[in-house]
Chains A and B, each alone.
Chain A
Amino acid sequence: MHELSLAQEAVRLIVEDATRRGIKQVTLVKILVGEWTAVLPEAFQLAFECASRGTLAEGARLEIEEAPARALCSTCGLEFHPEEWILLCPSCSTPGARLLSGREMQVVSYEGSC
């Protein structure tokens, strides 16, 4: 739901780094978004187009990779894909497993030309 502020931050990070390296045009941006971040790829795409307008990231192709949610049960040690936030272990039924991934929001990399 807050894709615009995240996209603005992505553009800020990329433009800052690209300017420092003398890159004139960013052509590709790779973003990693966790399954449990309430970030919609379609909305992020649109937000990125808006946020990058007039910057050297304008027109860059956006690739969004989704990181699936993974949890580790503290009782039996099973690593599993949790269905709900109560993080219930499917093997021993203990709630509150440790979330290993699924909350990522990251600019992984970008490509550009000088």
Chain B
Amino acid sequence: MPDIKVILAQDLRQANREYATENREKFSCLGITVVNLISSPGAGKTSLLEATLAHLSGSMAIGVIEGDIATTRDAARIARYNVPVVQINTQGACHLDARLISQAMVELPLEKLDLLFIENVGNLVCPAEFDLGEDIKVCILSVAEGSDKPLKYPLVFREAQVLLLNKIDLLPYTDFDMEAFRQDISNLNPELTIFPVSARTGEGLGEWCTWLKQQVSSKKRSVAPFAATV
């Protein structure tokens, strides 16, 4: 029995990257803007998504992929807004991966969509590692979690393009240090766009939704010349 040594030198995220690239190409071809929502449990992902859907209702066609370890509770909440929604239950896994998205997306009327939200599993660590093929990673942090979180969970704050600082209606009742928070963010990721919002009162949602609309129309424009030649 001869012994063999094999040098593989293969990245453990490679398979995920390949699925993510495929997803991204498909979304781009269809001109869909894809947003990956990442936060810890309870930061307000679903509530913010509901408020955003209500705000954007009628202005564009939106679909949602809901990721949770268990239950279809979030999908049921989202379905009330008359948008197509698919629930992924990861059965224990702490994050969504690109393969799960490629399986879930075929359940949506993709050719009709302008914007797709993917609500990741509530977790501030693992989802940041896995590209899903999205255009924009949006990190949601609620003020109740504390202003020290960017330095404690840095990867997601580095990877994200947008930070929704949620529950700002609670600011007077917490010790959230806004100045230190902004300083940490500017050191970690100076490009990060911050929208202070409250899903509960609606504060700041207008700015966030206006920004989203701009992203959707610029993505549409980027595929328009291609679409015209088909």
Contact = CB atoms under 8 A, between A and B. Distances in A.
A93 to B, nearest CB: 11
Interface string B1-24: 111111111111101100000000
A59 interface: no
A5 B12 CA distance: 9
B50 interface: no
A2 B1 contact: no
B94 interface: yes
B190 interface: yes
B39 to A, nearest CB: 15
Nearest to B125: A1
A2 B15 contact: no
A84 B4 contact: no
A55 interface: no
B13 A108 contact: no
Contacts of A113: 1-4
Interface in B51-81: none
B6 A84 contact: no
Contacts of A36: 155
Given A85-B155, A86-B187, A86-B188, A105 B12 contact: yes
B93 interface: yes
A38 interface: yes
Interface string B38-49: 000000000000
B126 A85 contact: no
A88 B184 CA distance: 12
Contacts of A85: 151, 154-155, 158, 188
Contacts of B114: none
Chain B contact surface mostly: mixed
Given A5-B97, A114-B2, A107 B8 contact: yes
A90 to B, nearest CB: 14
B8 A14 contact: yes
A5 B125 CA distance: 14
Given A85-B151, A85-B188, A113-B3, A1 B94 contact: yes
Contacts of A23: 4, 6
B10 to A, nearest CB: 5
**Which one of B6, B16, B158, B184 has the highest number of Cβ atoms from chain A below 10 Å of its Cβ?**
B6
Contacts of B16: 9
Contact of B6 (A37, A86, A88, A110): A110
A80 B186 CA distance: 21
A27 B190 CA distance: 47
The 9 closest A-B pairs by CB, nearest first: A85-B154, A86-B187, A105-B12, A113-B1, A2-B126, A95-B187, A107-B8, A109-B7, A6-B12
Interface of B: 1-13, 15-16, 93-95, 97, 123, 125-126, 129-130, 151, 154-155, 158, 184, 187-188, 190
18 contacts: A1-B94, A5-B95, A9-B12, A9-B15, A9-B16, A10-B12, A17-B6, A23-B6, A38-B155, A85-B151, A85-B154, A88-B187, A96-B190, A105-B12, A108-B9, A113-B2, A113-B3, A114-B1
